[in-house]
Homo-oligomer: A and B are copies of this chain.
Amino acid sequence: MGRLVVLAYSGGLDTSAIVPWLRERYGARVVCFAADVGQGAGELDGLVEKAERSGAAGCVIEDLREEFVRDFVFPTLRAGAVYARTYLLGTAMARPVMAAHQVALAERVGAQALAHGCTGKGNDQVRFELAYAALAPDLQVIAPWREWQFKGREDLIAYVKAKRIPVQATVEKPYSTDRNVWHCSHEGGILEDPAQEAPEHIFVMTSNPLEAPDRPVTVEIGFEEGTPVSVDHVPLRPVELLETLNETAGRHGVGRADVVEDRLVGMKSRGVYETPGGTLLHAAHRELEQLVLDRRTLRLKDELALRYADLVYDGRWWTPEREALDAAVASTQKRVTGAVRLKLYKGGLAVAGRESPFALYQSSYATFGKDNVYNQKDAEGFIRLYGLSIKIGAGLATERAGAVGAAAD
């Protein structure tokens, strides 16, 4: 018997072609692995049968939604990580959880290799393969798109037809899409010109703001130690919570982002993202932190967030660096407990209130006017010492200017 390969499988055209190609090219038996990370209704239907028709020796589907949100999405949220200033990392976060379970399956079935269907120009190949490097350094990696001679969709269709593999005669979308419970991304094709607005018809999770309800809605999100736990006072588990927020935010047209970003592999690309619930969660979490964390801890977090975003985007999830960052972030979240209200209206989002038992905000200190807790005279000493080095430096310049002036006489 030949070698065994576990393939990250979606059932789309690409991976449908990869199954027979792996058999031909490597004489391998192929076990397909598909993860449910919330791609949406129907995406996983009939997948086992489809894999088998492609010639796979088997197909395993795992529901990773809860793990995805709890262990990948929420840590990234707590870290405040946003890539390219506005991208909420929906695709990037899904890869390490999928790859980890693919690896675990490979170990269970005794496979010698791992394969994926990512192209050679994108980030996903890196994300999958760095996860493989970290979790299965001894397994071979096969990336058909970097190896075979097929150039595009037409070649693949011809190939699978020749192999008598049934693929649905779906009309190709003129751009590519990736969806999970956190977000939906759109890129390529008709979206390639960053000077052009994205057409309204591509959006699937968010309403057109112009057609959103005429009355705003206010949503209250509750957090415990940085993790969202309730919506409008109803405790919810991670996936439920996210779906609830997706529905509300999506209905009001909130959560779209149009981003020109730098791929890890060196070129810029343009993506259009829908992250309705995630947009609310990031805004609410940030707001709660402003209330309960001191200034220095906030600044530390803002610096770490830049680093965390790069790390997630680049697929370096399974690394000591991420563990160190997570440890720091977890420490900061001990008091990030409370609630934030957001008002959604026609695609816009506004903070409508925040509260926490750990609020460092105390009106008794902040108020201008009489008070007992704060002695305004303290500010005098504070400013004098805070500005001392500025004054010394300035005095020095003055003295020297004087000296120079004198010398010039």
A180 in the interface (beta carbon within 8 A): no
> Do B146 and A298 touch (CB < 8 A)?
no
Given contacts A268-B365, A327-B331, 19 further A-B contacts (CB under 8 A): A120-B378, A125-B383, A126-B382, A126-B386, A143-B379, A151-B369, A194-B359, A262-B295, A266-B365, A266-B389, A269-B361, A294-B321, A297-B320, A299-B306, A303-B306, A348-B348, A358-B400, A360-B392, A379-B385
Find out whether the CB atom of A385 lies under 8 angstroms from the CB atom of B350: no
Residues on the B chain within 8 Å of A253, using CB: 348
Q: What are 17 inter-chain pairs, A to B, with CB distance below 8 A?
A: A84-B290, A122-B368, A192-B367, A195-B353, A209-B346, A209-B350, A267-B361, A268-B361, A297-B321, A299-B310, A327-B330, A347-B350, A362-B392, A374-B388, A378-B380, A379-B381, A381-B382
Residues of B with C-beta under 8 A to A387: 126, 129-130, 133-134, 266
A320 touches B303 (CB 8 A): no
Contact A363 B192 (CB under 8 A): yes
**For the complex, is A247 an interface residue (Cβ under 8 Å from B)?**
no
A388-400 vs B, Cβ < 8 Å mask (1 yes, 0 no): 1111111110101
Q: Give me the 7 closest cross-chain CB pairs, A-B, nearest first.
A: A120-B376, A381-B381, A266-B388, A348-B348, A378-B381, A328-B328, A262-B295
**Inter-subunit contact A267/B394 (CB<8 Å):** no
Q: How many residues of chain A have a CB within 8 Å of chain B?
A: 131
Query: Is the C-beta of A85 less than 8 angstroms from some C-beta in chain B?
Result: yes
Is A41 part of the contact surface with B, judged by Cβ < 8 Å?
A: no
Kindly name the residue among A188, A385, A393, A398 whose own CB sees the greatest number of chain B CB atoms within 10 A: A385
What 0/1 pattern do residues 335 to 349 of A give for CB contact below 8 A with B? Answer: 100000101011111
Residues of B contacting A70 with CB < 8 Å?
none
> Would you list which residues of chain A between 45 and 80 have a CB under 8 Å from chain B?
none
Given A133-B394, A385-B382: A194 and B361 interface contact (C-beta under 8 Å) = yes
The answer on a CB contact under 8 Å between B394 and A291 is no
The answer to whether A43 has its CB under 8 Å from any CB of chain B is no
Interface residues of A in 257-298 (CB under 8 A from B): 258-270, 286-287, 290-291, 293-298
A363's nearest neighbour on chain B, judged by CB, is B192
Does B85 lie within 8 Å of A193, measured CB to CB?
no
Q: Of all chain B residues, which has the CB nearest A261?
A: B290
B306/A302 in contact, CB under 8 A: yes
Most chain-B CB neighbours within 10 Å: which of A359, A365, A387?
A: A387
When chains A and B are docked, how far (Å) is the Cα of A76 from the Cα of B121?
A: 35
Residues of B with C-beta under 8 A to A291 = 194, 260, 268
A174 within 8 A of B: no
Q: Mark A142-160, 1 if CB is under 8 A from B, else 0.
A: 0101100001100000000
Q: Is the CB of A378 within 8 A of B385?
A: yes
* Contact of A368 (CB < 8 Å), options: B176, B358, B383: B176
Q: How far is the CB of A219 from chain B (nearest CB, A)?
A: 13
Q: Is A167 an interface residue (CB 8 A)?
A: no
Most chain-B Cβ atoms within 10 A of its Cβ — which of A129, A270, A307, A378?
A: A378
